[in-house]
Structure 1
Amino acid sequence: MNKTKNLIFESAIKIFSESGYRGATMDDIAANAGLVKGTLYYHFKSKEEIFNFIVEEGLQILQDQVAKVQVMNVGPVEKLISICRIQLTFLYGYTSFFKVVMSQLWGTEDRQNQLRSKIKKYIDEIEVNIKSAMEIGVVKKGDTELLAFQFFGSLCSSAIYESIHNEKIDLETIIDCTIKFTLNGLGVSV
């Protein structure tokens, strides 16, 4: 990503996080990035295009890390533990991005449908490992898609916990507790 697009990326996340999608304006995004509005329009035709860009770029950061886990020569439970650690570290490192994503998950507009589709693609990566763990008898038989969504949701809940507790939290403690809780829910002792 070039320097200007990175400025727009960071600025848009901040503005969407603070003002919501409806309250955010191209003027606000440009001003926060220290750019003239024309530069913004040179790169993006609309606020929705910027929104889709930040979602695509932000989720790609997460998916790139998970792709590395998927090719590791370890078992499915170890992969789930790594995914848990990656997702929580990502959510805590990109809190404003997480707020933007969560605020737009519901609704019927095209950007919301696209967002859900991208989240589903990520959750599919979790499901692959749950299926593998079931096949080797480490995880109890069940609806793998539902379990993958629950796995994802429990990790997101930890990030919500942080947003409510403004004091400094110990990320490693949160990660360890969440890994134990989530894997215990799948029937895996850790």
Structure 2
Amino acid sequence: MPDDIAPRQAASWLRLPPPPAPTQKVADLLAASEAKLGYRRHGQRVQAHWPALLLALESVSQALKAEGNALPPRERELLALVVSVENRCEPCVFSHAAQLRQITGDAVLVGTIEVNWRRAALSAREAALAAYAEKLTRHPAEVEPADLDALRAAELSEAAILEAAAIVAYFNLSNRFHSGLGVAANHEAYLSHRTAAR
């Protein structure tokens, strides 16, 4: 699988040769991702050099968005976007903003979240999730029982709180991987699903 990135845009700051020939699992994962998005994410191009890591991270990602989870897709992407904005992780902001635009059909709402989620037209429950994501990202050592109480007051179940913590933790990991290696943002993600508010 050659690393056939668009001219003048490297996948990251790493100076890597083409990745090894993919195993069937890796090839299937990359093909499924490309079929869903219409392009291959640069982060996956980098992770393809360490197939076990690529598969492990994809397994966690799939668990976090499995059918029947406590949080709906809109809230999951909100958490991912708030974390990514807080960390200023360009490829992750582009990606999660695109996903949230697709879910909501509202590019203005998503753009406002990218600037300052407090100014966005969020429900009380969404605002509670955003505040939790921001605090756990900025000041993890300062999270207290009261922060979980605020989520309960916003009518989040214990399972939903567990899921929220896992999503915030996972995307902080993802953000640091991308930012630490200079993984390039996909322009396709930035351009996708830019529709006006319905």
Structure 2-normalised TM-score? Answer: 0.31
- Compare CA radii of gyration and give the structure with the larger one: 1
Higher RCO (C-alpha 8 Å, min separation 6): 2
- Larger relative helix fraction: 1
